[in-house]
Amino acid sequence: MLKTEGLGYWYQDKDQPLFQDINLEFYIGQSYAILGHSGTGKTTFLSLIAGLDKPKEGDILLGDRSLKKIGLTNYRRKDVSIVFQAYNLFTYMSPLNNLMTAMAITGAKHAGDKVYAKQILNDFGISEELALRNVQHLSGGQQQRVAIARTMACDAQLVVADEPTGNLDEDNTRDVIAQFQKIAHEQQKCVIIVTHEPDVADQCDHQFRLENKQFTQLA
């Protein structure tokens, strides 16, 4: 579904790439963890497959179309949904309006459907009362749940997450990964999670490690 072909990236020095000649495939209905020490380029890799930046070398294809062909703006609006470590919610809105706005912006098939949005939030442990509160008055775990619920409410087939459990305790971490698994398996999406926590990676279907400029498949 998503494929990198000879992908390479560097910031300043072409002779010091973060990674080079990366050929990976990611499929619908599966979850993937990308492990690696701090500074190895995990966030950079994610920003490329999320269409936030362009490769320096090689290409990224969705199906058989290059992201260059699709256009990064179009790709970000329609094809990919992003969850960051720091929740990236619309902070001046309630959880309910976060979902409603995201569905409207992306033209999701459930756009405008409040009952559906409330149902998803409820499935993620956000009660009707919490769904109407300003998100700034929710705990970290609750905010991350809203961020993931928002991903679920939209139709993008690719979900990428950068250290989504970085700010969470053990219980919330387990919960959040279980929800990503649900998105992959029940909603038939492709989920790619960057993490430095082996425990988190163990819960995903597949694991890659970014080390010495290369990705190695661990599971």
Coil vs helix vs strand at 51 = coil
Q: What is the CA radius of gyration of the chain?
A: 17
User: Is the separation of the CB atoms in 18 and 26 below 8 Å?
Assistant: no
Place of tokens 């979902």: 99
Residue 140 to residue 164: CA distance in whole angstroms:
11
Site track for Mg ion across 23-52, x = CB under 5 A = -------------------xx---------
Residue 162 to residue 134: CA distance in whole angstroms:
24
CB atoms within 10 A of CB 123: 13
Give, to the nearest 10 degrees, the angle between helix 114-123 and helix 140-153: 130
Shortest gap between Cβ of 164 and Mg ion (angstroms)? 12
Position among 7, 24, 31, 43 found at the interface with ligand ADP (CB under 6 A): 43
Shortest gap between Cβ of 46 and Mg ion (angstroms)? 8
Q: Which does 39 bind (CB under 5 to 8 A by kind): Mg ion, ligand ADP, none?
A: ligand ADP
Q: Which does 18 bind (CB under 5 to 8 A by kind): Mg ion, ligand ADP, none?
A: ligand ADP
Q: Which does 41 bind (CB under 5 to 8 A by kind): ligand ADP, Mg ion, none?
A: ligand ADP
User: Is the separation of the CB atoms in 188 and 28 below 8 Å?
Assistant: yes
Does the protein bind ligand ADP through residue 173 (CB under 6 A)? no
Question: Based on CB atoms, which residue is closest to ligand ADP, 101 or 167?
Answer: 167
Name the pairing type of β-strands 19-22 and 190-194: unpaired
Place of tokens 């993931």: 148
Q: Which does 97 bind (CB under 5 to 8 A by kind): Mg ion, ligand ADP, none?
A: none
Position among 39, 64, 170, 171 found at the interface with ligand ADP (CB under 6 A): 39
Q: Which does 36 bind (CB under 5 to 8 A by kind): ligand ADP, Mg ion, none?
A: ligand ADP
Q: Token digits for 170?
A: 């053990």
Does the protein bind ligand ADP through residue 14 (CB under 6 A)? no
Total of chain residues touching ligand ADP, rule CB under 6 A: 10
Binding site for Mg ion (CB under 5 A): 42-43
